[in-house]
Amino acid sequence: MRVLLAVFVLLAAAGGAYAYIQSEPDWYIRLRYPLEYGHIVTGHAENYDLDPALLAAVIYRESKFQANAKSSSGAIGLMQLLPDTAKGIALHTGGSQFEVSDLWDPEINVRYGAFYLRRLLNKYGDVKLALAAYNAGQANVDEWLANGEGIAFPETRHYVDEVMHARDVYAETYADELAID
């Protein structure tokens, strides 16, 4: 009887510890998934009819909200935009004085990134395909679709999964800050 009671207590303690670990405290989630530039994120999400949690999740996955991020491929800023992509966006949005240094400005970077994400969502009509195109390029996604394939690159599938997970975290954790109903 004592052994059975000890086993029961041990299992209950282990279950409680597991439940605590699975439901991380809010302060830890906010530390792990920061939200910087919230007013820029919400403003451009509204301007481009985007889910603000999705926009925050893309920024998190691309740069962890580090405005000075630069990739080995030359992508710059919060949303890791390539200069050629950003130059095209500037021309589409009425900008004629684009400078690569503009991409270091969080407001401009997120504005261009939000425009681009909205454009991809309009083109593909699917969040996961839009995210795949954001990561792997439209030409790859177009080829996969033409061949009747899903997302062919494992690293792109992983990217999409990470952004979707982060989107859920941002929606739940920052609902008030991101003005999510």
Report pLDDT digits (tens) over 80-108: 999 999 999 998 887 778 899 999 999 99
Cβ–Cβ < 8 Å for 127, 94: no
Q: Hey, which residues are catalytic here?
A: 62
* Domains contained in the chain, CATH given: 25-173 (1.10.530.10)
Hey, which residues does 81 pair with through a beta bridge? 76
Cβ–Cβ < 8 Å for 78, 67: yes
In percent, how much of the chain has pLDDT > 70? 86
Distance separating alpha carbons of residues 41 and 50, to the nearest angstrom: 10
**Per-residue pLDDT tens for 12-71?**
555 544 444 457 899 999 999 999 999 999 999 999 999 999 999 999 999 999 999 999
